[in-house]
Amino acid sequence: MRRWFATAVQRQGAEVCRTIWAVAIQTQAGDYDAVVIGAGFAGLYMVYRLREAGFRVRGLEAGSGVGGTWYWNRYPGARCDSESMYYSYSFLPEFEQEWPLEQRYPTQPVILRYLQTVAGRLDLLKDFTFGSRVDSVRFDDGARRWTVRAGDGLTVTARYVVTATGALSAASRPRFEGAEDFAGQQYSTASWPHEPVPLAGRRVGLIGTGSSGVQVLPELARQAESVTVFQRTAQFVTPARQERLDPRMVELWKANYQEIRRRTKITPGGIPIPSPIRSALEMPAAERTALCEEAWRRGGIWFLDGTFSDAVTSPEVNAIVADFVRSKIGEIIDDPVVAEKLKPRTHAWGTKRVPVGSDYYETYNRPNVSLVDLRADPIERITPAGIRTRSAEHPLDVIVYATGFDALTGSLERLGVIGRDGVRLQDAWAGGPRTYLGLMVPGFPNLFTITGPGSPGVVTNVPVAIEQHVEWIAEFLSYLREHGHDGAEAAPDAADQWTAHVREVADTTLYPTADSWYMGANIPGKPRVFLPYIGGLGVYRRRCDEIAAGGYPGFVLGSSVVAQEAAHGAG
């Protein structure tokens, strides 16, 4: 709302606008059954489901429109790594027939338009307050209600709060000495301007080579005079193989959409490709290489999830895959010195989220792109003229930070959540997050988290996990209402068991060996704990369904409504 307010003040004068503002805030303030924070894939669907189930629900969103991740991350080249036909809602069978599928991977503008169109069709905009960044979510023990406050002055109360704030939305921008004195422009991929950023004729420095850096680099290189990449960790980038989809394939696809959706929901990763069942160690070397070559040729998910059954569990097999990728880097890069810097050697393949790139390695063959290996030549400071590393000064006009996120917990902790007995969420999680099914936290009654820690969300095709969470939560709230309960809370022992299970599953893999955001290792001081659940979405869904069918064991169901009614009746 802030931007709208500033424009109105210019046009109509401060006094009138202050009154309008106060009235606007008051009309949206009030008491609700549920407040949903966030208007991305998760928030839109959550508000829709609760509204349709007859709950009084309000959505709050920091941005000025819908989109979530796809509202904020609008850097050039931003695109989804999941293929177009899978990266959408499954609950809109008519709309999915109409929505055009043009490219193998949907770009940021396409996904944003998709979400805007869905919000319009479902008439969801009226249920959201935009420009409201929530900074306080506090539980009142006596009233058993949450008070949610936003920076724009809006205050609402509700029995339930659902956080749909995204697992990767609290951006992390490291502090480099001197950054405030830089004379040029500085941008973060995670909050890219809405207006085009002029890059022609500019010397650009890019810090960060995760998925965002890998996507933005080729676009920067195409537009800017020069790009200097400051790389701390070389990545195993997989080729995306972006292409226009054959309309005949799309037609066939759409004719079978419902069956494809059904299969998608029971897969481990939310994408229905066959899981490999053979170890590389069972194959002759030539067969392994042929299989890797074919997966590399197909690109994307086919290389990420389609090679060997034990690619992220067996160090020996992992080394085979890693060697294969390093050999590809050597083949693509013209300059052997640059190729050597780009070959990852600090972590096992797949244990940091593998970026999916278009022309990423090829871009280093351009004459206007250079690479600084920060492990050999670290950044000392930012100067007014550029970035100074130990060995040189790099003159720049623009610095782009693609430096990642405080994943899974950051977006929840920055809401300022205070639960029962005045306990802050970050204190409850000082030793690492503790959740039941990644959906509820002991000590925080009636607070639900979507794609939070302990959920499989970020290791799947996220909308599929989101739909599962949303539907499960909506059904749970309906169940509570029907049974006269005024809420629910995760039981501490159930949360402990789930949290231990999440870690045990991770410990059967090589994931915990890497310094990744999965482990919280990218944020100084964050507990080193594997955050998502990697047991598979299909398995997780079955577990959630069994719990629902069994009357929600592991949750303490509030019964004060029933108790009050009984007392009333008895009196």
Give contact residues for ligand N01 (rule: CB under 6 A).
79-81, 168, 174, 207-213, 215, 232-233, 353, 374, 402-405, 517, 522
Considering beta carbons, is residue 212 or 226 the nearer one to ligand N01? 212
To ligand N01, the closest distance from the beta carbon of 407 in angstroms equals 7
Provide DSSP, 203-225: EEEEE--SHHHHHHHHHHHHHSS
**191-197, Cβ contacts within 8 angstroms, sequence gap of 24 or more:** 191/72, 192/72, 192/73, 192/74, 192/75, 192/78, 194/74, 197/76, 197/398
Considering beta carbons, is residue 38 or 213 the nearer one to ligand N01? 213
Considering beta carbons, is residue 233 or 509 the nearer one to ligand N01? 233
With 0-12 / 13-18 / 19 or more C-beta atoms within 10 angstroms meaning exposed / middle / buried, residue 183 is exposed
To ligand N01, the closest distance from the beta carbon of 270 in angstroms equals 13
Considering beta carbons, is residue 215 or 455 the nearer one to ligand N01? 215
To ligand N01, the closest distance from the beta carbon of 86 in angstroms equals 12
Considering beta carbons, is residue 147 or 403 the nearer one to ligand N01? 403
Question: Rounded to 5 degrees, what angle do the CA atoms 440, 443, 447 make?
Answer: 40
To ligand N01, the closest distance from the beta carbon of 496 in angstroms equals 28
To ligand N01, the closest distance from the beta carbon of 171 in angstroms equals 8
To ligand N01, the closest distance from the beta carbon of 296 in angstroms equals 18
Amino acid identity of residue 462, one-letter, is V
Report the DSSP beta bridge partners of residue 357: 239
With 0-12 / 13-18 / 19 or more C-beta atoms within 10 angstroms meaning exposed / middle / buried, residue 152 is buried
Residues sharing a CB contact under 8 Å with residue 404, sequence separation 6 or more, in sequence order: 171, 172, 208, 210, 212, 517, 522
Unique residue bearing structure tokens 């577990």: 543
Element at 357 (helix H, strand E): strand 356-357
Considering beta carbons, is residue 129 or 215 the nearer one to ligand N01? 215
Considering beta carbons, is residue 342 or 447 the nearer one to ligand N01? 342
To ligand N01, the closest distance from the beta carbon of 213 in angstroms equals 5
Considering beta carbons, is residue 211 or 307 the nearer one to ligand N01? 211
3-class DSSP state of 296: helix
For the CA atoms of 79, 84, 86, 92, the dihedral, rounded to the nearest 10 degrees, stands at: 110
Unique residue bearing structure tokens 């351009």: 366
CA distance 169 to 190: 8
Q: DSSP class of residue 390?
A: S
Considering beta carbons, is residue 208 or 306 the nearer one to ligand N01? 208
Sign of CA dihedral 463, 486, 137, 530: negative
Amino acid identity of residue 482, one-letter, is E
Considering beta carbons, is residue 211 or 351 the nearer one to ligand N01? 211
Closest-approach residue to ligand N01 (CB): 210
To ligand N01, the closest distance from the beta carbon of 212 in angstroms equals 3
To ligand N01, the closest distance from the beta carbon of 125 in angstroms equals 26
To ligand N01, the closest distance from the beta carbon of 166 in angstroms equals 10
Of 542, 552, 533, 538, nearest to 476 (Cα)? Answer: 552
